[in-house]
Structure 1
Amino acid sequence: MSESARLLREVFGFDGFRPGQGEIVDAVAAGENVLAIMPTGGGKSLCFQLPALMRAGVTVVISPLIALMRDQVRALREAGVEAGALTSGNTEAETEEVWSALEDGRLKLLYMAPERLASGGTERMLRRVGVSLIAVDEAHCVSQWGHDFRPDYLRIGALRTALDVPLAAFTATADEDTREEIVRKLFDGQPPQSFLRGFDRPNIHLAFTAKNNPRRQILGFAEARRGQSGIVYCGTRAKTETLARALREEGHLACHYHGGMEAEDRRIVEARFQREDGLIVVATVAFGMGIDKPDIRWVAHADLPKSIEAYYQEIGRAGRDGAPAETLTLFGADDIRLRRAQIDEGLAPPERRAADHGRLNALLGLCEALSCRRQTLLGYFGEEAGPCGRCDLCDQPPELFDGTTAVRKALSAILRTGEYFGSGHLIDILLGADTEKIRARGHDKLPTYGVGGEYDKRQWQAVFRQMMGHDLVRPDPERHGALRMTDAARPILRGEAEITLRRDTIQQAERRPAVKMMVSEEDAPLLSALKAKRRALAEAASVPAYVIFPDRTLIEMAETRPADLDAMARIGGVGAKKLERYGRAFLDVINGASEEVHPARRKLAGRPAGDVYDRLLEVQVALARGETGTEKPLSCSTSQISALARMRPGGVEEIARVLGERRAERFGAAFLDVLQAGT
């Protein structure tokens, strides 16, 4: 019997490895650099815990959540393995016990959060205790393009180099781009030995449905599974509390969990969920990443997740024991708007935001899938599969129809308006709406104006949503959410390809009530961009966001779109000081990079003197070489022009007192005409 098989039986109590585990254990134990992509519940932790027992020295495990570390340390100690964790959640006695075990050379596995790597003493301590292996759990957290980015994960690669020890990285959620980034950030671009063990969790049933009284939908799903442990994920903290209360009122054992709770209250919920049978936790995504509970029988999403990666990780908490488990994900137009706004209001660079919109499109593609969900899900991660028979679309295939004509009309509207507008304005064009925006831009003269009468507004919204799900169009972060066509759309527009859409989601769209928004759908992306700028300025100044500008000011900016400082000065809430301090920054968001304006002119913005200042400059340029154009160049200072613009001189003599005789001789009479015309 090999050493790994012996330890597997004697320490962990298993007679054999799960598929793929054995060769990963051998590679890690042999000191190879390893990247292992394994499905949630596939036994990742064993692949670094067992090699730690086979190697001399200490194995350091970098893990993102305290709950995850505590669970694994507790399980290892139960199995007779010396393990400990250094976390902010430790008691003084727990920390002292870990240090003592390290000093005595007894500790085999040391867990720590990535944030501890920021301490200068951590590297020295790890050198001193004889670290021989670094294991990184949830390695996708190193990806700045991923859904769980943790900045301190970027320090791990430097630690590996400094200690000159092998590194084994593990994750369940990494598409090809994320895997490449993991190799670049953790392994310095040198390809490790990679193991891709598949993403399929065949025991989990997948289901999606459009929102239609979502509270009742979640309560009905839970009722059909009464007495089973489950998790309901919500998009907001407030919803976790109200939905947990509704479940309790229906007789379920339920509690809520979110990041705004006191640490002790969160620990109580975590402990109850581990200990009690049939408990439902209604939570934000702060819950579950570190919970190793094998018998979670169902996971429901009351709101659309952020991405396919996030969805896959969250549903992966169900059925870790391999027994059947079920999922339900609700989605609606308000979810999509929220997720778009979160991307647009983020501080990421444009290429990152564009990629995030693409990831959201991929999730919408899963929501609007035409056939087997599992095929679509696994295809996103680069795997081929046949129909699974364990999803709602395999249970009951959806009604489909040829959507080529509708999609071609929508794409034509996008193209003919220069790819400068969002779905709201495009739908108005297709429906032949009589709006000021359409008249002002002449869009009522377009060939596509009024050609979409076969659908109402909500049905067209469903068409556009499915177009995003097929990745035919994406919001352009540089144009505040205006829809741009992808390369996949062009064959359809040219009549070279056809497309099939789902009829059921379009029909459901008819019954959904409209969601009240702060601004029109057309202006919402710009409002998100303005909020992102406000947040960046507020964080830099360490003040609340409303101190920069209140929401109502940003709403007015988004709706009126001021083109210059004079127009900006007329926005409610933009005083002289704020105009001078922030005006240009917000104009850049609205209109792109704006021209630099001299401080003297900026102070006159929004006042009649500002227009006078501009006309005085025009006259000065015209007379710079005199009336004949042959004289020596002469000009006035900006402070002189500004002083004249603010005053109302009665004659050339008063102008001369500001400019001096020489300049008054050349410009005085012409300046006086401007000043008197402006009075």
Structure 2
Amino acid sequence: MNLDKAKQALKRYFGYDQFRPLQAEIIRAIFAGKDALVLMPTGGGKSVCFQIPAVTMPGTCVVVSPLISLMKDQVEGLRANGIQAAFLNSAIDSREQLKVEESFYAGALNLLYVSPEKLVSGNFVSILKRGKINLFAIDEAHCISAWGHDFRPEYTQMGMLKQHFPQVPVIALTATADKLTRKDIVDQLKLEEPGIFIASFDRPNLSLEVRPGQQRLGQIQEFVQKHPKQAGIIYCLSRKTAEDVAAKLAQQGLKAEAYHAGLSPDRRSKIQDNFINDNIHIICATVAFGMGIDKSNVRWVIHYNLPKNLEGYYQEIGRAGRDGAKADTLLFYSFADVSMLRDIIQNGENAAQNEIQLVKLERMQQYAESLACRRRILLAYFSENLSKNCGNCDICRNPPQYIDGTQIAQKALSAVYRVNEQVPMGMLIDVLRGSGRKEIRQLGYDTIKTYGAGRDLSQWDWQQYLMQLVNLGYLEIAYDANSVLRLTAASHEVLFKSRTVQLVKPSSYKERQEEEKAAAKTKPKTLAKQERLRDELFEQLRQVRKEIAQQEGIPPYLIFSDATLEEMAFKKPLSETALLGVSGVGEKKLAQFGQQFLEAILEFVGSTSPKEKNLTYKLSLELLKKGLSLEAIAEKRGIETSTVLAHLAYLYETGEEVPLFQFVSKVEIQQILKARGYLENPSSLKTLYDYFDGKMSYDKIKLAMAWGRKNGG
């Protein structure tokens, strides 16, 4: 099978003209019957790699997905695109399960989603053998490896698929797997000479920022105010923190809820559904949340606490901006978080795993403390080299200012020496700043030579300088001795051999804010106006999307993604042909929802540029008066007949002489206007269309509504 059919399916079902990097190569390998291991970042297009083969090859693709809610979400999304999909798991009753199985046996399904528990249960293999399977797709494949951060024992039994179905290709997919985990996936699934496809882990649409962990709640409130009505997730280490943060945000009038394993299943399900349907904008959650949803329009992610490792951090920030549109991520970092996580890990039962996790925590800490481009550090962890700085992280936006830090280093190292290397970082800062704490006086630290020698620097500054000295090797933290600071060989060179030390001057969040405001003021006024208008149209399109979603009973992002709405707001398509050219608009969605979005765009263009709108609309009327049919006008202007009628309806309302009754009779107008009185949502075109069982066209309904608005009907 060649890729032409695959590209046709990509446009038809998903609305995209081109494959993303590696997708075509992966699909080609599957068409050739080969196994594959695919590493792609969250939002990078992993699902398309098995969904396109599923709709173009005879038979059914069986997808193993670890969370029930994710299956439901993905199946709903596929059905919205016109693809036959179903799932089997413990959430459905025996009658529904039998119905799905019969569809599978009959070859009526393109994709069948199953849980790992279902797949390895007693007689399920015999059920699979009764249908025709074209592909096995193992999603979240890192769960198979004990080296991974999300190990699931059921995954280790999936090697039996090659034993029972040796001719069926297997594709294993994950967004987070280091080299050891990749090898484990291939070995345990018994993949035969698989193609290894590693996409770039770079998500340039995600901004990366790390801030100190002081006054987090105030910073979060300020952050959220800059993202009004946008969906976001705040990850917290404990249930109590999640509840406290959600409660305080709710007091500010924000739509926020806590989500964690301590809630009842029904409560968790309700919160998740409200978030998916944009009824709740903010979820304050433990790490249990997020893996079970495929919500593409999450616009920001905040980590209230430091994550345990970079794999988990990468996966969690990857839940923002899955549609490719701009999204923001913010990580709060404090040394207290590091100490707490170290204690949690060290109390684990598996000593070997503890050592692995401690090493991974250190890498996470180094990322948070870094003064180099954060994206380069993050990608380097996944064995990817970014040749230049990203320009979209806090370090790149505000490059550090280097200073001669020799005197600062000497004060700090001398203080460590004079307290006999017996105090942790917090107390050392108190000694340097001359704190009057009772404990310091009792230990006699108020009598040493360096007591109060650093009064001129804030606690925040000292914390930053000390962490730099640790990272540069001038100090080390004795984690096995209550995290006290110890001197190193390099320390002695600074203290006794006049070695100079270069440090980065810390800048407060407030200072960085002022710099960003100053940069924003330099933006040209015309560009700022264009952005404002585009944002206004985007908000209107988002409201149209939500109204349609409520009518259809599906999540808004399954109508169109934020990225698709942003492209609509930028291009302002005024015809169905132009709308089909917007990335993410496929044939079924164009037919189902296209007209409502076109109407919103037409109305916006008219309100912001009425002169331009009148000129283009009047051309349609002039051609009609010359005797051209609707079809001829549409062909001549490169638009749809429904768009021509929309022009005529608008002009009729604005007082132009339009032969409206040529396209809708007086009797039909009265029937339509009368029907509005029986309906709960009389302004909805779809509601009226359904009321007449499709016997009254959308065009006639729109013309009748225009007549009613002009004549008070």
> Same-fold call, TM > 0.5?
yes
Alpha-carbon spacing, 1:44–1:499, altered in 2? closer, same or farther (3 Å): farther
| Matching residue's letter, 2:181 | T
Partner residue of 1:99? 101
Q: Does 1:24 align with 2:11?
A: no
Q: How does 1:79-158 map to 2 (within 5 A)?
A: 79-158=81-160
Following superposition, the deviation at residue 176 of structure 1 comes to 3.1
| Matching residue's letter, 1:372 | C
Alpha-carbon spacing, 1:347–1:459, altered in 2? closer, same or farther (3 Å): farther
Deviations 1:394-432 (A, max 9, x none): 2222344466898899999999x9999987999999999
Partner residue of 2:189? 186
State the SS of the aligned residue for 2:305.
Answer: coil
Q: Does 1:292 align with 2:294?
A: yes
Q: 2:255 aligns with which of 249, 253, 259?
A: 253
Partner residue of 1:552? none
| Matching residue's letter, 1:367 | A
Alpha-carbon spacing, 1:249–1:479, altered in 2? closer, same or farther (3 Å): closer
When structure 1 is superposed on structure 2, of 85-94 and 396-405 the one drifting more is 396-405
Q: How does 1:31-50 map to 2 (within 5 A)?
A: 31-50=33-52
State the SS of the aligned residue for 1:88.
Answer: coil
Q: Does 1:212 align with 2:214?
A: yes
Q: Does 1:175 align with 2:178?
A: yes
Alpha-carbon spacing, 1:224–1:12, altered in 2? closer, same or farther (3 Å): closer
Decide whether the 8 Å contact of 1:362 with 1:471 is kept in 2: no
Following superposition, the deviation at residue 344 of structure 1 comes to 0.8
CA distance in 1, matches of 2:346, 2:509: 30
CA distance in 1, matches of 2:131, 2:434: 74
Q: Does 1:354 align with 2:341?
A: no
| Matching residue's letter, 2:295 | K
Deviations 1:16-38 (A, max 9, x none): 22232211111123221111111
CA distance in 1, matches of 2:193, 2:421: 41
Alpha-carbon spacing, 1:428–1:265, altered in 2? closer, same or farther (3 Å): closer
Decide whether the 8 Å contact of 2:26 with 2:197 is kept in 1: yes
Q: Does 1:306 align with 2:308?
A: yes
Q: How does 1:430-509 map to 2 (within 5 A)?
A: 465-466=467-468, 501-504=503-506
Decide whether the 8 Å contact of 1:462 with 1:505 is kept in 2: no
Following superposition, the deviation at residue 162 of structure 1 comes to 4.0
CA distance in 1, matches of 2:497, 2:311: 34
Partner residue of 1:594? none
State the SS of the aligned residue for 1:329.
Answer: strand
Following superposition, the deviation at residue 70 of structure 1 comes to 0.8
Alpha-carbon spacing, 1:477–1:141, altered in 2? closer, same or farther (3 Å): farther
Partner residue of 1:645? none
Following superposition, the deviation at residue 218 of structure 1 comes to 0.9
Gaps in structure 2 of 5+ consecutive residues: 436-444, 511-713
State the SS of the aligned residue for 1:2.
Answer: helix
Partner residue of 2:674? none
State the SS of the aligned residue for 2:287.
Answer: coil
CA distance in 2, matches of 1:28, 1:419: 60
Give the TM-score taking structure 2 as reference length.
0.60
Partner residue of 1:222? 224
Partner residue of 1:160? 162
Deviations 1:549-581 (A, max 9, x none): xxxxxxxxxxxxxxxxxxxxxxxxxxxxxxxxx
State the SS of the aligned residue for 1:232.
Answer: strand
Partner residue of 1:582? none
Decide whether the 8 Å contact of 2:105 with 2:132 is kept in 1: no
Deviations 1:63-102 (A, max 9, x none): 1211211111112223333322122222444323222222
Decide whether the 8 Å contact of 2:306 with 2:331 is kept in 1: yes
| Matching residue's letter, 1:173 | T
CA distance in 1, matches of 2:463, 2:172: 42
Alpha-carbon spacing, 1:214–1:51, altered in 2? closer, same or farther (3 Å): same
Following superposition, the deviation at residue 329 of structure 1 comes to 1.1
State the SS of the aligned residue for 1:397.
Answer: coil
Alpha-carbon spacing, 1:325–1:494, altered in 2? closer, same or farther (3 Å): farther
CA distance in 2, matches of 1:488, 1:186: 48
| Matching residue's letter, 1:183 | V
CA distance in 2, matches of 1:187, 1:493: 58
Q: How does 1:565-576 map to 2 (within 5 A)?
A: none
Decide whether the 8 Å contact of 1:431 with 1:450 is kept in 2: no
| Matching residue's letter, 2:145 | S
Decide whether the 8 Å contact of 2:213 with 2:333 is kept in 1: yes
CA distance in 1, matches of 2:472, 2:294: 35
| Matching residue's letter, 1:311 | Y
Of structures 1 and 2, the one scoring higher in RCO (CA 8 A, sep 6+) is 2
Decide whether the 8 Å contact of 2:39 with 2:198 is kept in 1: yes
Deviations 1:295-315 (A, max 9, x none): 221111111122111111111
Alpha-carbon spacing, 1:40–1:500, altered in 2? closer, same or farther (3 Å): farther
| Matching residue's letter, 1:316 | G
CA distance in 2, matches of 1:196, 1:226: 36
CA distance in 1, matches of 2:386, 2:507: 26
When structure 1 is superposed on structure 2, of 455-464 and 191-200 the one drifting more is 455-464
Decide whether the 8 Å contact of 1:230 with 1:296 is kept in 2: yes
Decide whether the 8 Å contact of 1:354 with 1:476 is kept in 2: no
Decide whether the 8 Å contact of 2:411 with 2:453 is kept in 1: no
Alpha-carbon spacing, 1:199–1:252, altered in 2? closer, same or farther (3 Å): same
Following superposition, the deviation at residue 293 of structure 1 comes to 1.8
Following superposition, the deviation at residue 463 of structure 1 comes to 5.5
Following superposition, the deviation at residue 56 of structure 1 comes to 3.6
CA distance in 1, matches of 2:499, 2:160: 50
| Matching residue's letter, 1:328 | L
When structure 1 is superposed on structure 2, of 130-139 and 202-211 the one drifting more is 130-139
Following superposition, the deviation at residue 159 of structure 1 comes to 3.1
| Matching residue's letter, 1:65 | L
Following superposition, the deviation at residue 174 of structure 1 comes to 2.3
Decide whether the 8 Å contact of 1:254 with 1:279 is kept in 2: yes
Partner residue of 1:377? 378
Following superposition, the deviation at residue 236 of structure 1 comes to 1.2
Alpha-carbon spacing, 1:483–1:504, altered in 2? closer, same or farther (3 Å): closer
Alpha-carbon spacing, 1:477–1:248, altered in 2? closer, same or farther (3 Å): closer
| Matching residue's letter, 1:365 | Q
Q: Does 1:71 align with 2:57?
A: no
Same amino acid, percent of matched pairs: 41
Decide whether the 8 Å contact of 2:475 with 2:485 is kept in 1: yes
CA distance in 1, matches of 2:127, 2:177: 31
Following superposition, the deviation at residue 199 of structure 1 comes to 1.0
Deviations 1:643-668 (A, max 9, x none): xxxxxxxxxxxxxxxxxxxxxxxxxx
Alpha-carbon spacing, 1:389–1:169, altered in 2? closer, same or farther (3 Å): same
State the SS of the aligned residue for 1:198.
Answer: coil
Give the TM-score taking structure 1 as reference length.
0.63
Decide whether the 8 Å contact of 1:299 with 1:315 is kept in 2: yes
Alpha-carbon spacing, 1:335–1:73, altered in 2? closer, same or farther (3 Å): same
Deviations 1:360-380 (A, max 9, x none): 222222211213222222222
| Matching residue's letter, 1:309 | E
| Matching residue's letter, 1:390 | N
Q: Does 1:5 align with 2:7?
A: yes
Partner residue of 1:243? 245
Alpha-carbon spacing, 1:50–1:244, altered in 2? closer, same or farther (3 Å): same
Q: Does 1:363 align with 2:364?
A: yes
Deviations 1:197-238 (A, max 9, x none): 101111111111001111111111111212222111111112
Alpha-carbon spacing, 1:65–1:495, altered in 2? closer, same or farther (3 Å): farther
Q: 1:57 aligns with which of 44, 56, 59?
A: 59
CA distance in 2, matches of 1:8, 1:486: 59
Following superposition, the deviation at residue 466 of structure 1 comes to 4.4
Following superposition, the deviation at residue 126 of structure 1 comes to 2.9
Deviations 1:97-134 (A, max 9, x none): 22222233323322122233442323333334344422
Q: 2:345 aligns with which of 332, 343, 353?
A: 343
